[in-house]
Amino acid sequence: MGRLKLGALVEDKPVKISVELPAAIYRDLVAYAAVHGAENEQPNQPPEKLVAPILAMFIGADREFAKARRVLSSA
């Protein structure tokens, strides 16, 4: 089996937000947390700890967002 895209978690100062997820997405997040924890020797990581790194990875990979952000910041 290959490695997950998400690497080890890094601690950072959190900002609390509240979101509602569809049940299927939450179940996937719980399953991902279990696999991720086993792979990175960080067992019992709560699934909510993965939301920020997954979002950061998604946003970082979105080239159109990066382009739009550069345009907005140069305006």
Report residue 64 as tokens: 């159109």
The number of folded domains in the chain is 1
State pLDDT tens for residues 26-59: 999 999 999 999 998 888 889 998 999 999 999 9
d(CA 15, CA 38): 26
Domain for residue 7, yes or no?
no
The alpha helices in 17-62, defined as continuous H runs, are: 23-39, 48-61
d(CA 75, CA 73): 6
Domain that holds residue 27: 23-74
Q: Which pLDDT score, from 0 to 100, does residue 1 have? A: 67
State pLDDT tens for residues 9-35: 888 888 889 999 999 999 999 999 999
The secondary structure element, H or E, covering residue 41 is none
What are 20-25's contacts with CB under 8 Å, separation 24+?
Answer: none
Q: What is the model's pTM?
A: 0.76
Domain for residue 59, yes or no?
yes
